[in-house]
Chains A and B, each alone.
Chain A
Amino acid sequence: MRVSVVHSSEINIRKCYAEIREKLDLVDFKPNVVMLFLTESTWMFWKAFNELLQKRFPEAQMLGIVIEGYVLTRTIHTRGVCILLMEYDGDVRVFHEKGKGATKTAENLGSKIGRGWDLIVLAFPAIYFPGKLRLGITFFNDRRFYGKFQKVNETERMKIMEKYSEYLDRTNSVYPMNRTLRILARKTGGDTPIVGLNLLPLQAATSTPFILANYRFVSPGAAALCFKGRINAYYSDIFPERGKSYEETLEIIKGRLANVEDVRVTKKGLVIGEINGIKPVDFLLEKVKGYEQLSEEELKKLLDEGKLQTFTPYGVGFVSEKTFGFTVIGLYPYPINFYPVLFELDYFHDEGIFCGEHYKGGVKQLVRTFENAKEDSEFHFFIIDSQSIFSFGRSLFQIFDVIKLYSRNYFGIMLQSPPFYNPKPSNFMSEIEKGIHYFAAGSTVLIEFMRK
């Protein structure tokens, strides 16, 4: 297998494009896999890079996404463009499906992929930020549904939250990661690991995140890069193993997170209706002094400028009824009533905890998944949580102290904490359904390409 990483950290788009074109001229093999990673400074010029790559490598299987940064040998960059070119020894193919509602998209994509693959890399938007018109309709529906929600009894409330969740699904607004992975795993036979490239920019813009699949724009939608051959995938989170009961897991997790408080959550489907009997955002404002709720106009303006913050140190955590695993959804004072969640909530206990972010074990814990690396591996591709940029700042460079012990040939990207489906049993804290792992911060996935 041959691998080449072509990059430019230039933010002047003309210089960046010229540098990439020049470096592509030096590539001396014909890749069958092209992965295009655009950053905050270049994503709006995706068409130029897409065309350039299509002209150079028209027959390659191509996947393109927007990332927060990329990790090269001993350096980390958050600007410019990076392209991973691979001449993969086994079979490889990209499948895609566009905009038929989140559940329908996952089902159709799963059917297209079929069985028999050894690894699936699945790119999908955690939340899709639509244009102004669609956003206005969503705000209107949020107010309309919540108005009804406040006037009815418990049973009716559940039905309203379910309906609103269906609306979010139908409009491709939320691709819940547990449901998306569950559907894909079922459709592809259940024995293939699935790595989720769960797209949620740290600073969101209108009509983002987007996905390119085989040089086609497929947003809002999903795409899968499927490999058959000698390839492995490993996952790690930053927590100790989960407990064997609800109480045990809570006890472990309470010792790890900051500012923990027990809360009761009214939830269904993809939305939280209330926390301790009040609107989720009101609850957050009550707990965190200094936060102010954004107005709809402010939110739209921030989206237009590509500066809508999606990261937050505060969240509500839930214990899974299925596995006693634990996961968290971040809370931010958006101008909304129902709070949309990145995973389906029906598999979690109603009692949750309000908590602040806290890492233990430092930066090195973040890349402990490299400990799984095998000696006969040829190349490592990894995904680390982009929130680690805030948590660690320049200390993030300490990851190289760990990586160098296990790999000589590697490349990484920084994205929203990646979800993972593993058909083999594990005891990770973030295993929220059988085989399905997700935590809002600190997860890492390592993909290992083995020698032939």
Chain B
Amino acid sequence: MSLLLRISELLEPFSSDPGIYMVVLHRIDGVPIYVKAKRDKKVKLTTLLYWLEGQIKEVLYYIFTRNLSEASFKFQDMIVRMYPVSKTLVLSIIARDETPLYKLDLDLESACREINNLVVV
């Protein structure tokens, strides 16, 4: 099974969550290598994805130099969360702001760990 297929299997359950608009796995330079987005006309995800690309480098800098364990941005009715997966990958989710994140956080951390095991030799 290819690495990307295995990663998409691990991230697939999150995109089924009704509260999550988009799941993205970014490369170190900000380029997304996995994107799963919901079709929702109310949410302009493409603009947000472009904006996220610009943030990745900055977030990675803080993750590796200041031990930042996660980054969170809140827009009008959306939350963007970014979690480091490895030294070259960052996972971001875009969710409805009323989505309870306390449990989701644990599942995302588990997914990050599993992806980390796949990509770090």
Q: Which residues of A are at the interface with B, using a C-beta cutoff of 8 A?
A: 9-12, 15, 40, 68-69, 74-80, 389-390, 393-394, 396-397
**Interface band, chain B:** 10 to 19
Within the complex, the shortest CB–CB distance from B87 to chain A, in Å, comes to 19
Q: Which residues of A contact B17 (CB under 8 A)?
A: 11
- Output the least CB separation between A76 and chain B (Å): 5
The answer to whether B107 touches A389, judged by C-beta atoms less than 8 angstroms apart, is no
A74 contacts across to B, CB distance below 8 A: 113
User: Shortest distance in angstroms between A12's beta carbon and chain B's nearest beta carbon?
Assistant: 4
From B13, B16, B106, contact of A396 by CB (8 A): B106
Given contacts A74-B113, A75-B114, are A15 and B16 in contact (CB under 8 A)?
yes
A11 touches B13 (CB 8 A): yes
Known A10-B13, A12-B16, A75-B114; judge A389-B102 contact (CB<8 A): yes
| Residues on A with beta carbons closer than 8 Å to the beta carbon of B113 | 74-75, 397
C-alpha spacing A390/B102, complex, angstroms: 7
Contact B69 A79 (CB under 8 A): no
Cβ-neighbour of B106 out of A11, A12, A78 (below 8 A): A78
**Contacting pair A389 B13 (CB below 8 A):** no
Cα A12 to Cα B9 in complex, Å, equals 13
Interface contact B110-A11, CB-CB below 8 Å: no
- Which single residue of chain A is at the shortest CB-CB distance from B114? A75
Nearest Cβ on chain A to B79's Cβ, whole angstroms: 15
Q: Does B29 contact A (CB under 8 A)?
A: no
Chain B, range 7-39, C-beta contacts under 8 Å to A: 12-13, 16-17
User: B41 on the interface (CB 8 Å rule)?
Assistant: no
Interface of chain B, main secondary structure: helix
Please tell me if the beta carbons of B106 and A389 are within 8 angstroms of each other in the complex: yes
Interchain pairs with CB closer than 8 A, number? 51
Contact of B103 among A10, A15, A75, A78 (CB under 8 A): A78
CB contact list, B89-121 vs A, under 8 A:
102-107, 109-110, 113-114
Question: Do A77 and B106 form a contact, CB below 8 Å, given A11-B17, A394-B69?
Answer: yes
Q: Determine whether the beta carbon of A10 is less than 8 Å from that of B105.
A: no
Q: A11-B17, A74-B113, A75-B113 are in contact. Are A394 and B106 (CB under 8 A)?
A: yes
Instruction: Check if A69 sits within 8 Å of B16, measured CB to CB.
Output: no
Chain A, residue nearest B108 (CB)? A394
Distance A15 CA – B13 CA, assembled complex (angstroms): 9
Nearest CB of A to B6, in Å: 14
Q: Could you list 7 further interchain pairs (A-B, Cβ under 8 angstroms) beyond the known A15-B16, A78-B104?
A: A9-B110, A11-B17, A69-B106, A79-B103, A389-B103, A393-B102, A394-B69
Quick one: closest A residue to B104, CB to CB? A78
* Known A390-B102, A393-B102, A394-B69; contact A78-B13, beta-carbon cutoff 8 A: no
For the complex, give the distance between the alpha carbons of A78 and B114 in Å: 15
Contacts of B16 in A (CB 8 A): 10-12, 15
Which residues of B in the span 53-78 have a Cβ within 8 Å of any Cβ on A?
A: 69-70
Whether the pair B109, A80 counts as a contact (CB closer than 8 A) is no
By beta carbon, the residue of chain B nearest A16 is B13
Bound complex: CA of A78 vs CA of B103, how far in Å? 6
What 5 pairs between A and B have smallest CB-CB spacing? A75-B110, A78-B103, A12-B16, A76-B106, A10-B13
A411 to chain B, nearest CB (A): 14
